[in-house]
Amino acid sequence: MQFLGIIAFIVALLVSVMIHEFGHYITAKRFGMRISEFFVGFGKKIWSIQRGETEFGVKVIPAGGYCKIEGMAPNDQMLPGEEDRAFYKASSGRKLIVLGAGSFLHFVLGFLILFTLFAGVGTNQVLPVIGEVVEGSVAASSGIQVGDEVLSINGVKVTSWYKDVEVIRNSGGKEVVLTLDRQGQIITVRAEPRLTEIDGEKRYLLGIVNEVGVKRFGLLSSINNSATVTKGFVTESVKSLLSLPSKIPALWGQTVRGEERDANGLVGVVGVARVSGEAVGSDQLTVQERISTFLLIIASLNIFIGIFNLLPILPLDGGHMAVAIADEVRALFARMRGRPRPAGIDVTVLTPITMVVFVVLASLTLLLLVADVINPVVLNL
């Protein structure tokens, strides 16, 4: 099962990358740019087919893919009569749309995966069904029984026990009115929560333990939950990228000196694949929990890749977007001074900076690869 989890992760990652490239492809095609190649993988070509002006195919190294848009720089050679279809000839607005389309589809894919999780697979939730009544508790003396389903608290319908239970905890000991469904019979119970100390924290409780089960959500709830979790993933991704430099020293120690890996530290693709395999193959999780965990990993990975690609550094999409924005800023200043629009920035001039960034990213990737192989993150699922 763990091997199947790793394979599933690799397939999901490849699909995500190709959806990213499809975003570039479909928008560039829409704006009339020339696209000569669209390939899955890198290295030696093992299969391809020509469709119009674009060659679609598969290459031997399944480590991503690419969409080749002609004329990314002014010195790129275009076919005679096709010069106006070069990428660099497009308006800055169209460049931004083409460059940002890949990350946009990562966000869309992450959201759709989460929607599938909430609406289709379901998630483990604390249900408003009584699984245990503590002996000697307020609930016991009030007549609450195992199997009762709480329909409302103080007249307010229960929709999410995680939130609705706060009415009891914040009651201050005042009487609460519970409407219960007891095997089809609707009854009302009045009880005064008792201040109880649990794990050093005092709360007002009735003395009930709820059942835990799989819950699927309706359309609107699934959309709302997916949006909330997506927002959370975006926030955490930004925080992770901002804290990345500070985590590199710890990663070096974990790689070179064999220090224990931090589950919340930096993890590479190999590490994420291993974690996915561990989750899918875990005997401690139900089938539904395995699927849910896997979907959460893939959704969060897509959101992170989407954010990462928007970083304003070359050779990332965000770097090219920054160049397009800089072109517009220069054009604005030229108009303010009554001057003609200046020539667009030639990204090849920035090649030295691009190479430095590439070397840094490649070095970090290699360090993560070594760490994930010799000192992997273990979740003990």
Give the residue among 267, 245, 241, 273 at the shortest CA–CA distance from 255: 267
> Does residue 193 have a cis bond before it (omega within 30 degrees)?
no
Q: Domain count of the chain?
A: 1
Tens of pLDDT along 319-341? Answer: 999 999 999 999 899 999 999 98
pLDDT at 343: 83
Say whether pLDDT at 3 is over 80.
Answer: no
Residue 37's SS3 state is strand
pLDDT at 64: 84
Tens of pLDDT along 252-271? Answer: 888 877 777 776 677 777 78
Domain assignment of residue 162, yes or no: yes
pLDDT at 1: 61
Domain assignment of residue 139, yes or no: yes
Say whether pLDDT at 147 is over 90.
Answer: yes
Cα Rg, the chain, nearest whole Å? 28
Mean pLDDT score, 13-32: 95
Say whether pLDDT at 380 is over 60.
Answer: no
Give the separation between CA 112 and CA 32, rounded to whole angstroms: 29
pLDDT at 255: 81
Percentage of the chain beyond pLDDT 90 is 58
Domain assignment of residue 225, yes or no: no
Domain assignment of residue 201, yes or no: yes
pLDDT at 143: 93
Give the separation between CA 116 and CA 106, rounded to whole angstroms: 15
Say whether pLDDT at 276 is over 90.
Answer: no
Domain assignment of residue 285, yes or no: no
Mean pLDDT score, 276-296: 83
Tens of pLDDT along 153-204? Answer: 999 999 888 888 999 999 999 999 999 999 999 999 999 999 988 877 888 9
pLDDT at 310: 96
pLDDT at 69: 96
pLDDT at 365: 84
Domain extent, residue 143, equals 124-215
* Sole residue written with tokens 């099962």: 1
Give the residue among 65, 67, 66, 49 at the shortest CA–CA distance from 57: 49
Query: When comparing pLDDT for 212 and 206, which is higher?
Result: 206
Give the separation between CA 18 and CA 62, rounded to whole angstroms: 11
pLDDT at 379: 59
DSSP assignment of 54-111, as one string?
EEEEEEEEEEEEEEEES-SSTTS---TT-GGGSGGGS-HHHHHHHHHHHHHHHHHHHH
Say whether pLDDT at 378 is over 70.
Answer: no
Domain assignment of residue 133, yes or no: yes
Lowest-confidence pick of 50-64, 97-111, 263-277: 263-277
Average model confidence (pLDDT) for the chain? Answer: 89
Question: What CATH number is given to the structural domain containing 161?
Answer: 2.30.42.10
Give the pLDDT band (50/70/90) at residue 62.
confident
Give the 3-state DSSP-derived string for 142-175, with helices as H, strands as E and coil as C.
HCCCCCCEEEEECCEECCCHHHHCHHHHCCCCCC
Domain assignment of residue 103, yes or no: no
Domain assignment of residue 186, yes or no: yes
Q: Estimate to the nearest angstrom the gap between the alpha carbon of 289 and the chain centroid.
A: 18
